Amino acid sequence: MSEEKFNNKYNSIKTGTKLNCSGCGLELTFMSTPSFGGGKLKEGGRVCRDCFKKIVKINASFGMKSKVKYNVNDVKKLLDPKHNNSNSIENSIIEVSETLFNITIDKEQDNHDIPYWSHVYVYSYNDLNYANKDQKKFYFKFKDHFLKGENIPIDGNTNYAFILYFDLLKEYEKHNDIQLLEQQFKQLGECCPKTKSYALDALRNLLRDKGDPESLEKAIELQDDRYQYEYGFSDYDPDAYKLGRLYKEKLDLNKQQVSWLNKFYNPSNVFLSIEGCCIATINYYLLILKELSKQLKKNHTTLAKEIKLLKEQVLLHYKEESQYQWGSYELGYYSSEIENNLYLNIFKKAENEVRNLFGHKRKISAEFPYQYAETAFEDKIGIALVQIMEEMKLQISSPDHQTQIELNAQNVNRWKTFFNQLKIKLIEGNQKEFILGITDLEKVNQKNPNIEHIFYEASKAIAKQNQIVALQYYAKYIYYDLKSKKIDNKPINKTLQKLLFKTDEQLSSFREIISQLILNKDIKLTLNQITKIYEPKRKKIVLDIQAIKKVEAKHSDTVELLNQYLINDETTSNIEVYDTKNEKTTTIKEFDTKKDASIFIQALVLSEMQKEVLFKIAKNDFSVSMGQIEILAMEKGMFKNQLIDSINDSCAEFLDGEALIEEEDNSYIIEESYYNELLK
């Protein structure tokens, strides 16, 4: 805004001009000119306050349309007694309300002994002359209490407040104390908020009229929305939605911290929309400025001073580049904007550092906004700022669980950084940490539309170390892939298939499990089923009892003869059977618990009792009743379960962790193939 436009808007009389009233010829001054831009005419003339008041009483439309409809001749006709008699004067009162013009009738005094005074435009202190006796009496009582620092409620009768407003301006011409007037206007604004904006305009005009540097600087301050709100000249809070105001209570910020955060408008972006990211950036920014202030203090300066010097350098450049003459409005506007941008630049630098530490690859532009002042910025602040940021970044807290979830929803490939770190752990042999890490990744990627790819890559990574976990991860890949918008359906490649499945039966079982998962979506059931894929499938043998009886009958004599040999000599390792028909002897080898211990592999360490149990089960077609084992255990002072468990523990490492002896109904059985693996 140019100085001319600014003065037209805020000053009653253009600076450096001399103007007389178009009605009575009176020289116009601040005190004699209608307030708030009133009384201007079409061709540029203007009327004084007294003439303005007279014309409005003759024709109410003059108040709002003088500049559009009336010229000097119109004004003179309206003020000429020959053209106007007493009957033409409307005894109307212009109400200051949502309805601009309204004819009202005075009411009686209200219930609070405040004489009711219909709302009118008040143009000067002299308008008190139009008040009745009770209204005048109350006004002076109101003023007397006001000057003592006491506000009497006026219950919406704003005429009293506006009369006092002009009364205070009148008194100012005598004492010329601008600070006293400012305090009085603040107090009046508390009593009647409608006076605030008018008081602010009057103060700015008076300060500019004084012309000294201090007054001009004060006038610029009065243009600042924050100053107006803090000192009661406006109900508008410019910081209502800035970071300092929003987080003052939540982060228990002090006045200086609130001020640093309110230097700029809330920078809105997707990263800061996550509260955890925003709070981390705020804390880091405040930490940086606190440390920077300490260092500047050691150099006998302050952050505010250095920012002010930079601001003045930029303002000087702006003025030199501008084609227009600057007024106080331009000076105030650009001064505030430059200061805001300088602090915002530091905040952006802090935000980028937090983004980097939080694994958010996208960065924002944090270049210094004023190239012609960049060297000065680096010398005074920039170099120290970089060093402080490097030292302070260790104090940035890691993102919490909810923040991680939101970050992964924004950046769908963010998980890859953490996954690569887990792969290194796996290569180093830390399988447990890898599995725990994948579990954590699953938890914090629940909103990530690409979560299934985590498990596909995890399945490939751990296939060599743990086949069951690899298959479970692939099942989770299928589970999450079915939930995604686009189903990828990546298969297990041929190399991994050979690694994961030793038999076609295992592959077929896994395919069946995955088929069921696609139908029922029950991932818990699926994961449990996968744990059993590598278990050996035992074949159930059904004995033909009738056939056994026939064989027993046929060879009963031979069996009886063998039993006699066994009873007579338990330690005999060879049994000779004489075949009379062929006239030759056949030797049958017998298990001997004392002499045949060497039949087991050398690395397998078993006690004599454990060997005896194994021989007993093996001799009985790899199945023996629990009662027989219980009798044997009791003879040795042991329990049968204790004995069986000790054997299984000794043999487990040679059977890939599988149990050698298992229970079936009321018997203990041994898988023959397992037993053979233990033999030499």
Element (H, E) at 522: none
Quickly state the pLDDT bin for 671 (edges 50, 70, 90): confident
pLDDT recorded at residue 549: 62
Quickly state the pLDDT bin for 426 (edges 50, 70, 90): very high
pLDDT recorded at residue 11: 44
pLDDT recorded at residue 580: 40
- The C-alpha atoms of residue 585 and residue 575 are separated, in whole angstroms, by 10
pLDDT recorded at residue 537: 65
> Is 70's pLDDT higher than 70?
yes
> Is 141's pLDDT higher than 80?
yes
pLDDT recorded at residue 481: 94
Which residues neighbour 94 within 8 Å (Cβ) at sequence distance 6 or greater? 56, 60, 63, 100, 101, 102, 119, 120, 121
The residue that leads in pLDDT, 468 or 588, is 468
Mean pLDDT of all residues in 237-242: 84
Quickly state the pLDDT bin for 597 (edges 50, 70, 90): very low
Question: Whose structure tokens read 């069986």?
Answer: 644
- The C-alpha atoms of residue 650 and residue 415 are separated, in whole angstroms, by 44
Which DSSP letter does residue 679 get?
B
- The C-alpha atoms of residue 364 and residue 270 are separated, in whole angstroms, by 11
Element (H, E) at 252: none
| 22-36, 80-94, 293-307, 354-368: least confidently modelled range | 80-94
Radius of gyration for the chain, computed over Cα atoms and rounded to the nearest angstrom: 50
pLDDT recorded at residue 103: 34
- The C-alpha atoms of residue 645 and residue 672 are separated, in whole angstroms, by 18
Mean pLDDT of all residues in 314-320: 83
| 252-261, 641-650, 655-664: least confidently modelled range | 655-664
Mean pLDDT of all residues in 590-612: 71
Quickly state the pLDDT bin for 598 (edges 50, 70, 90): low
The residue that leads in pLDDT, 356 or 223, is 356
The first and second tokens of residue 202, run together, are 């009057």
List the one residue out of 367, 395, 389 whose CA is nearest residue 292. 389
> Is 622's pLDDT higher than 50?
yes
Mean pLDDT of all residues in 583-611: 63
List the one residue out of 61, 154, 59, 162 whose CA is nearest residue 120. 162
The residue that leads in pLDDT, 208 or 455, is 455
37-73 core/surface letters (b: 16 or more CB in 10 A; e: else):
bbbbbeeebbbbbbbbbbbbbebbebbeebbeebebe
Average pLDDT, the chain: 81
pLDDT digits (tens, 9 = 90+) for 353-366: 999 999 998 899 98
| Fold of the domain built from segment(s) 597-677 | Arc Repressor Mutant, subunit A (1.10.10)
> Is 3's pLDDT higher than 90?
no
Mean pLDDT of all residues in 165-187: 89
> Is 91's pLDDT higher than 50?
no
pLDDT digits (tens, 9 = 90+) for 472-499: 999 999 999 999 988 888 999 888 888 8
> Is 228's pLDDT higher than 90?
no
- The C-alpha atoms of residue 461 and residue 453 are separated, in whole angstroms, by 12
pLDDT recorded at residue 556: 58
Mean pLDDT of all residues in 563-576: 43
> Is 135's pLDDT higher than 60?
yes
pLDDT digits (tens, 9 = 90+) for 500-556: 998 989 999 999 999 999 999 999 999 999 999 988 765 555 555 666 566 556 655
- The C-alpha atoms of residue 336 and residue 340 are separated, in whole angstroms, by 6
Mean pLDDT of all residues in 180-207: 87
- The C-alpha atoms of residue 32 and residue 41 are separated, in whole angstroms, by 16
pLDDT recorded at residue 552: 59
pLDDT recorded at residue 18: 64
The residue that leads in pLDDT, 275 or 19, is 275
> Is 185's pLDDT higher than 80?
yes
> Is 583's pLDDT higher than 70?
no
Quickly state the pLDDT bin for 7 (edges 50, 70, 90): very low
Quickly state the pLDDT bin for 197 (edges 50, 70, 90): confident
> Is 347's pLDDT higher than 50?
yes
Quickly state the pLDDT bin for 443 (edges 50, 70, 90): very high
pLDDT recorded at residue 92: 35
Mean pLDDT of all residues in 434-463: 95
The first and second tokens of residue 590, run together, are 């017998």
Specify whether the CB–CB gap between 669 and 622 falls below 8 A.
yes
| 83-92, 97-106, 177-186, 422-431: least confidently modelled range | 97-106
Kindly state the percentage of the chain with pLDDT values over 90: 38
